[in-house]
Amino acid sequence: MSVRRKAGGVRRGGMRRMLGIGLGLGVLALMGAGFSEYSHAQSGAQAKRPRIGLALGGGGARGAAHIGVLEVLEEMRIPVDCVVGTSMGALVGGAYAAGRSPAAMAERVGQTDWTDIFIDEPDRADVKLRKKQLDDQTFPGLEIGVGSGSAAFRSGAVAGDKIKFFINGLVGADRGQRLIESLAVPTRIIATDIATGAKVVLKDGSLSQAMRASMSVPGLMVPVIIDNKKLVDGGLVDNVPVVEARKLCADIVIAVDVGTPLLKSEEIAGVLSVAVQMINILTNQNVEASFAALNKSDLLIRPDLGTVTAADFNRHAEAIEAGRKAARAVAAKLAPLALTRIEYDYQMAHLRTRQPPPVTIDAIEVAKLGRVNTEVVRKHLDVPLSEPLDAARLNKSLVRLNGEGDFQSVDYAIDNVGGRRVLRINPVEKSWGPDYLRFGINFSTDFNNNAPYNLRAVYHRTWMNPLGAEWLTTLQLGEREVIATEWYQPLDKPQRWYVKPAASFVQSSRGLYVEGSRVSEFEVQDRRMAVEVGYNLGMPGQLRLGWLERSLKAETVTGLALFEAQRARSGGPYLGFEYDTLDERYFPSRGLFLNANIRDVRRVDREDAPYARASLELWKAWSLRDYTLQLTAEMGSTTRGVLPAYDAFTLGGPFRLSGFASDQLVGDDMRFARLALQRRLLAPSGIVGASVYAGVLAEAGKMGLPYTEARLTGWQKSFGVYLGMNTIVGPLYFGYSNAPKGRSTWYLFLGTP
């Protein structure tokens, strides 16, 4: 009996399981049929409704209004079937097609430092010391390539690397390649072939590269090369791409125009305003043609952006709000295009996918370079393998690499090769290199009879061998005449050790003073030959040891002969250490500068006695908001023997006891200190502009043994105020100083020392 009960139980249990399985399959079949029917219904609805295409125009910072328009379209459940964008419209449209919500775009734009993003140079603290030294005596912005036998210039003021990195993060290219042809929403990007003037419609390849090309304002940003074409801003040929949106998919085009209106007659004054007006005229002409292509079913949205200009990136919140208002103003026309909540959610499901996590890099490859050693590239890369990629860390590495001065742009891509993630670094060497001509100038005046000036030209040859040898030749005319040449030879691939032979001829003159009156002029002719061995301590530091041979002639050329004429030959070793982390050399807001040197003149001829000379210069800056406190200290001492007049220390002139004439105090055992409180009055704009500063300063200095101005013993004081500004040729200072034992004077200084 028990056996039969078990058998019966098994049969009854099996039947129940079969019944359950059948019921489950039936439910799944019904669900599948329902989903299929729902999908069919959705497909039918999608097929019946008109397809909507966005034509987003260019306008620089004004293009942030596109984000506000997209917000309203999403609020109203207006579907987007395709996107075509130009310039800033390409940025917003491409990001939207890549899955970024308007809210996420607005947040990213709000977090961006729009002043810094248009500055290619890394933070000065991250630039190698040798480049800082060169930049501090020439105009970094004016670099003429002369390697090809004729003069060549960079093709844009900004390479746009930081802009490209911003775009990479916006569309997720820092987590893998984003290709135009693979986007959830069909997308086209408009650019201009600068060689032919033809419109280029980018429909495949790197999304971020296409967006960067469409934003390349001619003259401001370097063109982007795609398929051997140099591409610039698409606004020159099709600023509101209505026709391209219709070609791509649109039955109805929603066109958004954020272009800059023409300047009024009274606003056109100067070369720059004429150039801006010319571009505006060209852009407006093609926009009118686009408007003519609109039909009755299309919508044109023109946000009222008021005084927001193409360069006002820091006013993005105003532009976004203007976009919202303009879209809501045509809500009645948009309403018939809206989908139901279910339909819209279905439409958006394939667009808003979760952003993938940071990728883990398995290998790094550096593109083949023509001149630069790839080891120089690799030493800057702060990208650990087998760890999630930190995009911000990578971007900083690449900006620092570009700060070497050898590249016109640096980019990267992440590829999947055989299941391994490969980070490809793509530096582009300067097309106008590797030989350059650079210039410098300085001019100062106390508005009396003292107005010294110097004009400087520097010929710089780079990468003369695989280790990165450089040849630098300088010619300077003015109060201090210079002919100098040096060979800088790194001794290893990372360029830590170097050797530098150098030769120079310097002829300089200085006024000599007695009781505040200039009584004579002292001239020194100094011929030098040196060889130096050094070690670069990372980016900010350098230790150097060398031997210097000198041949000198010093004499009074006019006025009272306060010093005897001298001729001397000398030689001896020197030791130097330099460390520089200042964020700016002349208007620093943070960082430290230290320069210490000692020279031991052991071999002398005739009646001169050996001597040793030591000097130290220190700058330190601290900032709180727009206020900066700067401390400067200098000292110079004779550690052995007596300093000859031609090698003595000096004080006087702007920012070195400003209430005294230039080099008025001459002697040994010099001490000097300056304390300045500076406020930034005007910050630079997002693209161009200069910072303007106002400051007050107190200075004190003394000579242990004065060679001139014997009455000025002990500490001399000077107090003053100044206005300062960064310019293309260096710092500009205009100030007033008063010294109790000196004079009250106005002064002007322009250029680099």
Catalytic residues: 87, 233
In one-letter notation, the amino acid at residue 377 is V
Secondary structure letter of residue 685 according to DSSP: -
**Pair of tokens at residue 689:** 């502009």
Q: Which residues pair with residue 637 across a beta bridge?
A: 614
In one-letter notation, the amino acid at residue 664 is Q
For the packed helices 161-171 and 88-97, what is the interaxial angle rounded to 10 degrees?
30
Cα–Cα distance, 393 to 397 (Å, whole number): 6
Give Cα separations from 306 to 86, 260, 329 (angstroms): 21, 10, 16
**Pair of tokens at residue 544:** 């150097």
Cα–Cα distance, 138 to 548 (Å, whole number): 25
Alpha helices (H) in 350-483, listed in sequence order:
374-378, 391-402
Q: Name the phi and psi angles at 105, rounded to 5.
A: -65, -45
The answer to whether 292 touches 300, Cβ cutoff 8 Å, is no
Cα–Cα distance, 432 to 408 (Å, whole number): 9
Beta strands 143-145 and 435-445 are antiparallel
Cα–Cα distance, 276 to 263 (Å, whole number): 9
Q: How far from the centroid of its chain's Cα atoms is residue 179's Cα?
A: 27
Cα–Cα distance, 76 to 415 (Å, whole number): 38
Q: Is 85 exposed, middle or buried (0-12, 13-18, 19+ CB in 10 A)?
A: buried
Secondary structure letter of residue 176 according to DSSP: B
* Helix or strand (DSSP H, E) at 65: helix 65-75
Coil vs helix vs strand at 610: coil
Rounded (5°) CA angle 420-424-428: 170
Cα–Cα distance, 67 to 302 (Å, whole number): 13
Q: Which residue, chain included where needed, has tokens 């041979």? A: 549
Q: Is 503 exposed, middle or buried (0-12, 13-18, 19+ CB in 10 A)?
A: middle
**Pair of tokens at residue 183:** 């986007």
Coil vs helix vs strand at 714: coil
Q: What's the distance, Cα to Cα, between the start and end of the chain in Å?
A: 113
Q: Is 19 exposed, middle or buried (0-12, 13-18, 19+ CB in 10 A)?
A: exposed
Largest CA distance in the chain: 140
The answer to whether 189 touches 213, Cβ cutoff 8 Å, is yes
Secondary structure letter of residue 311 according to DSSP: T
The answer to whether 397 touches 411, Cβ cutoff 8 Å, is no
Beta strands 692-706 and 716-727 are antiparallel
Cα–Cα distance, 213 to 345 (Å, whole number): 33
The answer to whether 505 touches 526, Cβ cutoff 8 Å, is yes
Q: How far from the centroid of its chain's Cα atoms is residue 114's Cα?
A: 11
The answer to whether 338 touches 347, Cβ cutoff 8 Å, is no
In one-letter notation, the amino acid at residue 26 is G
Cα–Cα distance, 567 to 606 (Å, whole number): 9
**DSSP codes, 527-566:** EEEEEEEEEEETTTEEEEEEEEEEEEEEEEEEE---S--E
Cα–Cα distance, 541 to 351 (Å, whole number): 50
